[in-house]
Amino acid sequence: MARSAPSKSPPAVVLGLNLTALGTIRALARRGIAVTAIATREGRVSEYTRYGTKLFDARVDADACVDVLEELGPRFAEPPVLFASSDAHCVVMSAHRERLAAWYRYVYPERDVFATLMDKGRLALWAREHGFAVPGTVVVTEGESCREAAQALRFPCVLKPTLRSSVWTHKWPKTMVLDTREALEQVYPQIADDAPGYIVQEIIPGGDDDIYFCLVYLDRGGEVRARYGVRKIRQQPPLYGTASLAVSWPQDEVAEAAVALLQRAGYRGIGSVEFKRDPRDGRLYVMEATVGRVDLNCPLATAAGVNIPYLAYCDAAELPLPELHVVRPGLKWCNERDDFAAAGQYRRHGDLSLAAWLRSLRGPCTYATWARDDPLPFVLLSLGFSARAVGIRSRWW
């Protein structure tokens, strides 16, 4: 049931209508906040949420979204609080904050802090310089020989862009696994022009359940207002993808490491840091950070009583910040579509039986798509799955 927002609360605007946006919209709208989502019309199931107003504009992708936001700004009686749902939108919001400040409110880190944490190569180098454990990493920039850059690394390694462009997202997997330097030499010419730079990083051994992250909110003064630890159970694709099943993990070591890194960098706003525990030495290694936006699995924290989007909203709107308490520990979060795909891959490799997959879904769980008070996105996802199962293409799966 929706709860009333504070009196005179401004509206919110969410860029995008992916599943991350869906979690943000639900978290705000259930507090009685008027939400407007702006996106390209791509037939996502998130477009059918009962919450919020939807506006569709083909220009919302990349830098053109600034023009759309400026055109929309005068329609509101007071400046809305602005939220991003993708890295590309975060980059635009950071780069054009002066233009957006006339119409919108949001709490963001300084540009150099944002750029350092957003760029995977710069983050790895910065974290190492400041005493955090980082896998062996080299940054390959335009004109460099990738073979020479990777001479000091132990293979196998992963190759990934320092910043994921829309070109990369549509052409390549999130991460490429390379067993040898020769494999790196073969693939690099094919991808060299699809991102501004790349990192080659040694693989930390261990499984998906050795990966932890902490969702954090630091207010405009740098004070920690929320932190919520999560442990991955599965991800899609396995080992090098995005969480498809995760569980709350109230482990102080993970939370303290994430907060220490963000505070050392002078961070402000919504963020998270992901680590992998190396079974060889037991240390937590910094893998990546999410900056400027909520994580896809932020609804796990929201369902537990730590509503980070609402906290960010109140801070940006200069409203009293709510006291957050974990009211439902031990929750899981599941991305239904991705976990079905991930389970299939685990099963094909002999790492997961059907019975074990079903057991892993037991217990209190919140979902990326399903919600009792907002069922239509999940209904459409289910119809899309049913269509694909009988050989019919569907935009909803």
Return the closest-CA partner of residue 175 out of 246, 247, 269, 274.
274
Provide the residue range defining the domain that includes 168: 136-202
Q: How many CA atoms lie within 13 A of 41 on its CB side?
A: 4
On whether residue 396 sits in a domain, the answer given is no
With vertex at residue 230, the alpha carbon angle to CA 228 and CA 236, rounded to the nearest 5 degrees, is 140
User: Residue 240 has what pLDDT?
Assistant: 83
User: Residue 250 has what pLDDT?
Assistant: 82
Q: Is 221 helix (H, G, I), strand (E, B) or coil?
A: coil
Phi (first) and psi of residue 234, to 5 degrees: -140, 160
Tokens of 276: 């992998």
User: Residue 149 has what pLDDT?
Assistant: 66
Whether residue 375 contacts residue 382, with contact meaning beta carbons closer than 8 Å, is answered with no
With vertex at residue 201, the alpha carbon angle to CA 89 and CA 111, rounded to the nearest 5 degrees, is 30
Cis peptide before 364 (omega within 30 of 0): no
User: Residue 2 has what pLDDT?
Assistant: 44
Tell me the one-letter amino acid at 326. Answer: V
Same structural domain, 198 and 213: no
Same structural domain, 195 and 238: no
Same structural domain, 184 and 240: no
Q: Among 107, 126, 159, give the residue marking a domain's end.
A: 107
User: Residue 148 has what pLDDT?
Assistant: 67
CATH at 192:
3.30.1490.20
Report the distance separating Cα 385 and Cα 90, nearest Å. Answer: 31
**1 exposed, middle or buried (CB, 10 Å; 0-12, 13-18, 19+)?**
exposed
Report the distance separating Cα 397 and Cα 394, nearest Å. Answer: 6
Return the closest-CA partner of residue 140 out of 153, 132, 149, 130.
149
Per-residue pLDDT tens for 163-186? Answer: 776 667 777 877 788 888 888 888
Report the distance separating Cα 36 and Cα 58, nearest Å. Answer: 16
User: Residue 112 has what pLDDT?
Assistant: 96
Per-residue confidence in pLDDT tens, the chain, 397 aa: 344 454 478 999 999 999 999 999 999 999 999 999 999 988 899 999 999 999 999 888 767 899 999 999 999 999 999 999 999 899 999 999 999 999 999 999 999 999 999 999 899 999 999 999 999 998 887 656 666 667 778 888 888 888 776 667 777 877 788 888 888 888 888 887 777 788 889 999 999 999 999 999 999 999 999 999 999 999 998 888 899 999 999 878 999 999 999 999 999 999 999 999 999 999 999 999 999 999 999 999 999 999 999 999 999 999 999 988 888 888 999 999 999 999 999 999 888 999 999 999 999 999 999 999 999 999 999 999 999 888 888 888 8
Q: How many domains does the chain have?
A: 3
CATH at 52:
3.40.50.20
Same structural domain, 222 and 277: yes
On whether residue 276 sits in a domain, the answer given is yes
DSSP symbols for 349-397: TTS--HHHHHHHT-SSEEESS--TT--HHHHHHHHHHHHHHTT---TT-
User: Residue 36 has what pLDDT?
Assistant: 98
Report the distance separating Cα 249 and Cα 231, nearest Å. Answer: 6
Q: Among 173, 202, 231, give the residue marking a domain's end.
A: 202
Return the closest-CA partner of residue 165 out of 100, 102, 87.
87
CATH at 276:
3.30.470.20
Q: Which residues contact 243 (CB under 8 A, 6 or more apart)?
A: 211, 230, 232, 233, 234, 235, 296, 297, 333, 335
